[in-house]
């Protein structure tokens, strides 16, 4: 199967990580994949905060519901939406979604795992991240070498989802 299609099919949300650090060049590759996502009018409204110091990771873990996931991930990427760079609430959010999926697929391609955490969108977390005026946290993505191999979660058959006209 084509490598991209294979990565799409093999990707899982990974919520448990080995302690092995993630190489800085791999973190860079994930961020680079994120910035190559499409965005309406090419506004590129994403901003990234890389949470990698032990102190900040521990502080962040205390503020999120899925504490262990963030505490054990060697690095967590925060994806913020810069409202001043964007132009349309819905389209900006769609662009950020494309950015996050690029990051997750790049992680899969590099032997890493990650999980999209939406339940962390909170003022206290934004303050810890040093979010700037007009920036809004959209998701956290803890990243690391997987310590679990989650089975695929069910997908609805195409026949249920698709109409042809």
Ligand X SMILES: Cc1cc2nc3c(=O)[nH]c(=O)nc-3n(C[C@H](O)[C@H](O)[C@H](O)COP(=O)(O)O)c2cc1C
Binding site for ligand X (CB under 6 A): 12-13, 15, 66, 115-119, 150, 153
| Residue among 7, 17, 8, 11 nearest 148 (CA) | 17
Task: Compute the least distance from the CB of residue 133 to ligand X, in Å.
Answer: 25
- Closer to ligand X by Cβ: residue 43 or 66: 66
Residue 120 makes CB contacts below 8 A (sequence gap 6+) with 63, 64, 65, 137, 139, 140
Task: Compute the least distance from the CB of residue 101 to ligand X, in Å.
Answer: 8
Task: Compute the least distance from the CB of residue 139 to ligand X, in Å.
Answer: 7
The answer to whether the CB of 51 falls within 8 A of the CB of 76 is: yes
| Residue among 46, 98, 108 nearest 77 (CA) | 46
Task: Compute the least distance from the CB of residue 84 to ligand X, in Å.
Answer: 23
Q: Which residue shows structure tokens 């959010």?
A: 93
- Closer to ligand X by Cβ: residue 23 or 68: 68
- Closer to ligand X by Cβ: residue 48 or 116: 116
- Closer to ligand X by Cβ: residue 1 or 55: 1
Residue nearest to ligand X (CB): 118
- Closer to ligand X by Cβ: residue 10 or 84: 10
Residue 46 makes CB contacts below 8 A (sequence gap 6+) with 34, 35, 37, 39, 79, 80, 81, 82, 95, 96, 99
């Amino acid at each position: 199967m084509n490598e991209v299609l294979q990565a799409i099919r093999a990707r899982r949300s990974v919520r448990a990580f080995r302690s092995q650090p993630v190489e800085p060049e791999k973190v860079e590759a994930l961020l680079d994949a994120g910035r190559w996502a499409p965005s309406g009018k090419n506004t590129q409204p994403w901003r990234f905060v890389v949470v990698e110091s032990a102190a900040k990771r521990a502080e962040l873990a205390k503020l999120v519901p899925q504490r262990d996931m963030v505490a054990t991930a060697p690095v967590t990427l925060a994806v913020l939406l810069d409202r001043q760079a964007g132009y349309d609430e819905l389209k900006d959010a769609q662009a950020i979604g494309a950015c996050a999926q690029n990051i997750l697929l790049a992680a899969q391609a590099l032997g890493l795992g990650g999980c999209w955490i939406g339940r962390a969108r909170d003022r206290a977390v934004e303050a810890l991240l040093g979010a700037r005026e007009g920036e809004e946290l959209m998701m956290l993505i803890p990243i690391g070498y997987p310590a679990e191999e989650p089975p695929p979660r069910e997908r609805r058959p195409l026949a249920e989802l698709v109409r042809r006209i």
